[in-house]
Structure 1
């Protein structure tokens, strides 16, 4: 059983009792040293000096907070308080000797007493501190701090206060500070880390470099990846300054540090064109992308931001978050942005048109969509209703209300789709492309990008959970690759692309975001395992910690994703945004396809739905092992009419 901790009051009582012993003893020893003999006295004057000086000193110690400080975490302030308390105690002794005229106590005693009392009172506390430190160090995790700058030094102080970690070394690339000792911890060069891990028993490396570039951080992490340590990081400097995080809050290495790129400064003119002083609306405002769009939009001061969301909880969550952000923004920038949260479905054209008209919406970011490939694959009719007809209804309502700009959030899965979700998004793109030809006042455009880190259903949080559970980490195929982008970066580029679309008189632009280099998912899994301090368990390393298992491609899943259908692509004024020229169905053809698709969905005829999708100019080529709508399958089973599909 764990030892029971003493209560705070009992600990304080023990310290007071000890000081009531130390102080008279210090005075007695001071007199003995002065006379060179052991003093013995029964005179009342002498006893009064002993009793009153000790009692008054305890009162002073109480006022100075010596008994409130936690001895095991004693720091500089506590040491100063002890010195100050003993100094006042020596003055009390001198005063008592002067007024009582105690003949057996020389006038020089306060100076000798000061040193002895400091040794007893301060030394006893230091001994307790050493005792606790020796106990704590036995169980503390041994860590190295990568970065000996201000952040690294603050991290060291925070770690010492926490009592859970013991910093064994600083690691820094700066040759000038090699070998220095900072707050008792020596600075080493990075190439020494391998030997330090074994020599000092280091189990974790903490990255304390909040201001270095993404490129530098990736290089450092790549070097650490091969070492048998768990790599963590302190929060970024912006979060520390803003109060969102504390420096002692250690985190797993952000996957952005492995995959991201150095940020390109946003074009503020592009941000303001569709947002500043305008009425802006985000559909699907509670989703991963929609909520980040909202966070970015309020920074650029719209007159009003309207949130449309079908999920009551998601709407409540983002509304509360934005209200707090707006309160801070109003205090710092004196802006007044009206926030309106509305429940509703993008399939309800009448409600949408009423909202657009009543509030005078000028810019719409259409993020409401079903995006999970396996789920849409098994709920085909609902996927089509929401992704295709939801986009159609929203676009028609925008036309009727003469909305200025309508931006569709699309996906790389719309390019030569092998699944229903991607096909619905390509169909939705074609709806806007066709409407753009006939529209005079509303400018339609769409922004296509790949996987977003940290979004719901993302592979990264899945891998993190599986690693914490001890594995296995599941990857669908050994050769599967994906493009990745952070949520804030994707949202910023979407907002800027929307302005580029609004400036085109014809409209109908398909914007493609530069996603950087594709990432092999199996390699990503290995990196995350290594950076968590584990080894991959496989045929080459059967004694490893966590295994990677390959589950096979899911229905409709590709080995790789593409962003462009053809080669006809042009640059824009933004280095990360390209404009693609892609073919689309003419309005008469599109209207006929939509009519047939609506009729097939109303009849819940999934076979017919798939035939229409295959016959549309979306590039849809389903897998051989394509799954079908779950409800439709059950209905056919009950009707005894199983389809061999």
Structure 2
């Protein structure tokens, strides 16, 4: 069978079909009985027909087609090749000046050639698909509208692992119709019945993230106990293990749409430059480093206090980007001399400041001064180092917890935003911005890894309050928007990300339990009560703030009516002398600088 797939064999087969079409044209032209004298004309002109089709098909690259995967683009290419070859054939025959040659065959032959070659390809593809079906791939239902299911069916062509046996469409008027011989059996509400009828244990989700009603459909389907699959994301097609459907993940269920980056401007900002990232070993910092490396930076300077995190990042980036010069430092942003020495040595064009303490309960009890030293003083040290070494841009990662904060962590990040704005006034040559966003799926300290561990051990899954809600985004989305914000606005501005719709934590817990293949009867959910400093809901803008649009649909600029910035020297002095200060004194001092800070 393998030799039949050879391009040379298929090319010869096409020429044979072209010659057959030539003789059929004569045969039909003379009512199925070719007179003797015209047989001689056909014989005399046959070599020119074969030669013309050989040249035409070579020019149209017909020999590169793979018959097992033929489709409309290949048939259009074949038609062009036949038209070209037919034209060359007609030109050659007319140049031979054969006496009494039946010119109607010159029009009839290309039509017959198209029918024969198209039929041969269709038959071959049908045979190849039948062989794949015979391998008995696992039956799978497709969830989506007919256009979405069409894309999924094309993606599954050639797969020996999966066999589409039905479609579930959210549009009732599509029920009963069929697509590529696959029937639409019902709507998502009928998943359980259809799956049982067809003995199917897997459901492939064809609707893209952000599609209307997608989350509701998936939750409905998850209740039936079938395994939920989806097609790989674009970046996963590049990986060897991303060629087929994969299990649905939480970020697929939340339906975050992909970020559209200004690639040209980012390349101009980062390509060939030196970039410094603090907190590079953390989940956000590491993702920033991955995204930055894609833009072809000359040197990436990675700074983090955790030795093991820096080691892991070094191993990953050396393997993924061997051409990039990476410099990996174990350093603390709370040590200004060390940070300034690193920045002065490498002279980065752009600095991304991701180093921070962000765990609310830990910073709220016993560690308030540590939050100030890292989040406030550390941010100033990083911003000052960027200004002193002449960096063009400085981007600090902030949080929605800085808005009307009710905890030390949020208040410290709000004060850090003000310190960065002070740096913008002190160092006019550097463009300073801060970026606020909410919870990041899978980041260290987030609720998702906690729920994952609790589900793996059989539960219970602990939720603080049944009404608590949070904004969520993916790590990749957060990092990309941080990069995008670095391009925009005026120095000193604060950017707010479009976080979409907030998600109830209880709903998040239920989604994760269902994705694990369990039910709430098997993995119970328990409520533990709000922790110190925790709010039922987060905000992206403070009471005295509004926002204005930017050219990017997912970024807005926070506008505040606040007047005046903190005295940097006195802030650093107080933090440096606050070792013996009680927790309440620290909170009281924070309230003097962040009046919107409300202690609960």
Q: TM-score, normalised by structure 1?
A: 0.64
- For 2:178 and 2:537, the matched residues in 1 are separated by 48
Alignment of 1:448-597 (within 5 A): 448-501=436-489, 504=490, 507-536=491-520, 544-565=521-542, 566-582=544-560, 586=564, 589-597=567-575
Q: CA deviation at 1:249?
A: 7.1
Is 1:205 the counterpart of 2:202 in the alignment? yes
Specify the alignment match of 1:285 in structure 2.
280
Equivalent residue for 1:357? 344
Sort the Cα spacing of 1:168 and 1:443 in 2 relative to 1 into closer, same or farther, 3 A: closer
- Partner of 1:612, secondary structure, is helix
Over 3 Å counting, the alpha-carbon distance change for 1:420 and 1:218 in structure 2 is same
User: Aligned partners of 1:321, 1:608: CA distance in 2, in Å?
Assistant: 44
The alpha carbon displacement at 1:527 in A equals 2.9
Which of residues 188, 191, 194 is equivalent to 1:193?
A: 191
1:82-128 deviation line (CA, Å, top 9, x unaligned): xxxxxxxxxxxxxxxxxxxxxxxxxxxxxxxxxxxxxxxxxxxxxxx
Q: How far is 1:357 from its partner?
A: 1.4
Q: Give the secondary-structure state (helix, strand or coil) at the position aligned to 1:307.
A: strand
Report how many residues are paired: 455
Q: Give the distance between the partners of 1:509 and 1:304, measured in 2 at CA.
A: 27
Residue 414 of structure 1 and its aligned partner are, at CA, apart by 0.5
TM-score (norm 2): 0.69
Task: Show the 5 A alignment for 1:278-357.
Answer: 278-327=273-322, 336-357=323-344
Contact 1:154–1:247 (Cα < 8 Å) also in 2: no
Distance 1:307 1:223, change over 3 A: closer
Residue of 371, 379, 383 corresponding to 1:383: 371
Q: Does 1:158 align with 2:156?
A: no
CA distance 1:230–1:489, shift in 2 (3 Å): same
SS at match of 1:245: helix
CA 381–244 in structure 1, closer or farther in 2 if over 3 Å, else same: farther
Distance 1:466 1:240 in 2: 28
CA distance, structure 2, for counterparts of residue 341 and residue 441 of structure 1: 27
- Cα–Cα, structure 1 residues 141 and 287, in superposed 2: closer, same or farther, change >3 Å? same
Q: Distance in 2 between matches of 1:141 and 1:229?
A: 16
Unaligned runs of 5+ in 1: 1-129, 160-166, 328-335, 537-543, 624-645
Shift of 1:611: 2.2
Q: Which residue of 585, 606, 610 corresponds with 2:583? A: 606
Cα 1:208–1:359 change in 2 (3 A) is same
Q: Shift of residue 178 of structure 1?
A: 4.8
Gap change, CA 1:553 and 1:255, over 3 Å in 2: same
Cα distance change, pair 388–219 in 1 and its aligned pair in 2 (3 A): closer
Distance 1:240 1:438 in 2: 44
Contact preservation (8 Å) 1:430, 1:584: no
Bigger radius of gyration:
1
Match of residue 265 from structure 1: 260
Residues 259 and 480 in structure 2, CA contact (< 8 A), matched pair in contact too = no
- Quick one: distance in 2 between partners of 1:612 and 1:585? 19
1:622: Cα distance to partner? 1.7
Does the CA contact (< 8 Å) of 1:363 and 1:403 recur in 2?
Answer: yes
Deviation at 1:482, TM superposition (A): 0.6
In the alignment, the residues of structure 2 paired with residue 520 and residue 352 of structure 1 have an alpha-carbon distance, to the nearest angstrom, of 40
1:284, 1:168 → 2: CA distance?
Answer: 46
Match of 1:407 among 386, 395, 407: 395
1:220-243 CA-partner distances (Å, limit 9, x unpaired): 743644642143325515355312
1:422 counterpart residue number: 410
Structure 2's unaligned 5+ residue stretches are: 1-133, 144-148
Q: Offset at 1:199?
A: 3.6
Match among 592, 596, 600 for residue 619 of structure 1: 596
For 1:225 and 1:344, the matched residues in 2 are separated by 49
Partner of 1:5: none
Partner SS, residue 298 of structure 1: helix
Structure 2 vs 1, CA of residues 246 and 268 (structure 1 numbering), >3 Å: closer, same or farther? closer
Which residue number in structure 2 is paired with residue 397 of structure 1?
385
CA shift at 1:351, angstroms?
A: 1.5
- Provide the C-alpha distance between the structure 2 equivalents of 1:217 and 1:467, rounded to a whole number of angstroms: 27
Report deviation, 1:564. Answer: 0.8
State the alpha-carbon separation in 2 of the partners of residues 519 and 180 from structure 1.
36
